[in-house]
Structure 1
Amino acid sequence: MLLAAVVVTAVSVFITVGAWRYAEDDARRSVETMGRQVAAAVLAPMSERNFVRLDDLGRGDLRAHIWPFLQAGTVQRVKVYRVHGALATVMFSDEPRVEGMSGRLDSRIAVRMAADDVLVQPAPDDADHRYESSLPGSRMEVFFGFRDAGGNDMRLELYLPVDVGATTRQTTWVLLPTVLFGLVLITAATVPLSVTLARRLERDRAAQRAARAYGLAASELARRDLARRLHDSVIPDLAGVGLLLQRAQLTDQPWPRHREFLDRAQDLLAGEVRELRTLLTELLPADPVGQDLRTALHGLAARILESEVPGPGPAVEIAAPGLGPLDEQPARILYRVAAELLRNAFRHAHSHTVLIRIAATDMTTVTMTITDDGVGFTPPLPPRPGHIGLRLVQHLIEDNGGRFDMTSTPGAGTTVTVSVPHTAARTSG
């Protein structure tokens, strides 16, 4: 509302200023046109008089010529100056009190009169124009140069009424409603677009806020998972190794008994090294996966099954018909996505079978589809903490210029399809 008020005020001010400028220019043109018409009627009899020797009879004759214009209100005041050097003297006027008044000729008027045969300007409001200032309304001066019968350099000055304010108001009242109505129409037409853009911006902001929240939550979940696995298996086993070594050191049993303690400690250490390597590999594969992504995913699925699922887990099938070596960057992205989706399928879907299919759909795109026959859910992505990885997978794919699609039905499993750009996708013969 505040912005709309500011716009309306600014538009109103601009229109008013423009209307005032237009009214002023229009007044000048009208005054010049009317002044030329009056001058055409009175200059001929004036040029036949010698104003230096003008008598009462001559004054009466001149007043008779200008009286119709004064009576009609076309002209408010008439003055005839004699210019002598820099001095100007009023020789004749419809106002007798100004006759004989002298003053210095305005140099600007002299220069402009020398360049133009007619000069139009606003009437000054000063002591020299005190008799004109008492006239009603506002007016402009029009000057014409001529020579009288005695060869004197003369100036005819006409005061013509103008009403710039009325013209400004009239023009403003004509233009302003039209312009404001046009602004209203434009605003109404752009409201849907503005609302759509605002909603899209808010969705983007909400997605960014959600991504940050999901990232923090996922980091916390990963930290807790690592802590649990270290606390439940690695640390107790390492503590057991320490106890076995201590017992072997303190026991007085014969050497075969020492050997038994050392063998058990060695087995525990070997198992925990494998567990630590599994943890590190799940975070980031140590070896390149682009040369043989199918084999890398087989190893990943086996490690996640071993660490996440007690007892027999779902059957994992991986199909990559004709898939050759991939660039390492998209291959690692698919590897990380597969790890998260497999972990979700093992933890939450309670599926019996998980199928992974990878194919180079064209020369620039690699697509991976993971399907499980688990419990499914109703999209959109469920907000439960255990499913935060799905949000992160979607953002990971989209941030790398790929596409993420998911379909799921309660009781009918879930299918996730991800596509990533690949500059050198190629298939083996």
Structure 2
Amino acid sequence: MRCRTWLHDRGERWAVAQFALSGLAAVAVILVLVLLAVGQRGHDQAVTTAKEVTRIAAHGIAAPNITPALLRGDPAALARFDRIAGDGLVREPVLRIVLYRPDGEIVYSSTPGLIGTRVTPDADMRRALRTGTTTSRVGDPARPDNQLPEGTRLLDVYEPITTPDGGQLLLQSCRRLASVTADGRQMLNTVAPFLIGGVVLLQLINLPLAVALMRRVRRSRRREEASLQQAIAASDRERRRLATDLHNGVVQDLAGMSMSLAAAANTATARGDVETARQLGAVAAESRRTTRVLRHVLVDIYPPNLQRAGLASAVADLLETVRRLDVVVDARLDPDLELPPDLAALVFRVVQEALRNVTEHAGAGRVAVAVQAGEGAVEVLVADDGAGFDVAAEEQAAIVAADGHIGLRLMRDLAEQAGGRLELSSAPGTGTTVRAWVPRT
């Protein structure tokens, strides 16, 4: 029983380990997806903040200071706007600002040398002018107006501005993209510890629940095994009682009757009553035959030498019954095999059921039987050269009693309950093989 409990415990430990590993894998996937989503959300939020800051700066600082002189390119107006830009617009993380006309001419740039040059408005610039909304994009290092320091990437934010004369300009605010990424990372760093901690805590809560559920299943299985053992023990007790009653009652009466009939036949012979002696002798012979049949039945119901002489001797008695039916038997029985009573009875029942199918259904001329000790288990083999049958069709049949194989299925269930297994292989015309493995302890 300790071996079977260990096997069950090992299976339960593996099931708990699988639950924990799969849970951790699921948690890892969820965390990665959620953190990516949070990171993206943080980045989007940082871009939204950059747009809002640019909108406020454009309409609160730049627009009120755009004059006709500035639009004409007056140096004094440009210098004044340059001071205003340096005080309120071009501050970290903003590296520069640019004012464009709708045709792409640069009216003002905080980067020297660009005023008066022209660029081709891209789709983002045109959309901002057309819709009057703020747009953004990652700065293109190849653009002539994007004179970036080595390794610097920019986020360009475009905000349309209405000039005093009713015209339109487009303000471009170029800020470090790393600042936007840093804002997103900051949000991620703020949320991640709580998210990771919550998910790990959930997993830690689930693991004890899984262990408790597994233990409950184990207790239920042990109760089922105990019930099965009690049922088997009750069945053995009932078999023993029935065998004892038959042996001490009907069998003894038949034996006494056959001896009385034989004595009466001898008396009739002595008197010269040949016909009566013949009839009495025939009845006495029939009584002796019936007694032998009943004794064989008693062996099937409860083998008297299973407990007294051991499993090998009990199986040998079964084989003698098969040999009397003119079936060639090839037996390999381990005479020194010692098993607990419940397992010895289980092995005996497996061999008994297999041989019953051989004698009643297979029509076999030869059968091989082996009961030997293997590595940690008892190995049972019963193979015949009989008619065989379709195992798959048999498993699907709704009515099995007529074919007689239900006993083997019951033995399979008992073997599995004992921590072992039983395999049945057969095909029409190829015989039948029954293999069973039962733990030795």
TM-score normalised by length of structure 2: 0.48
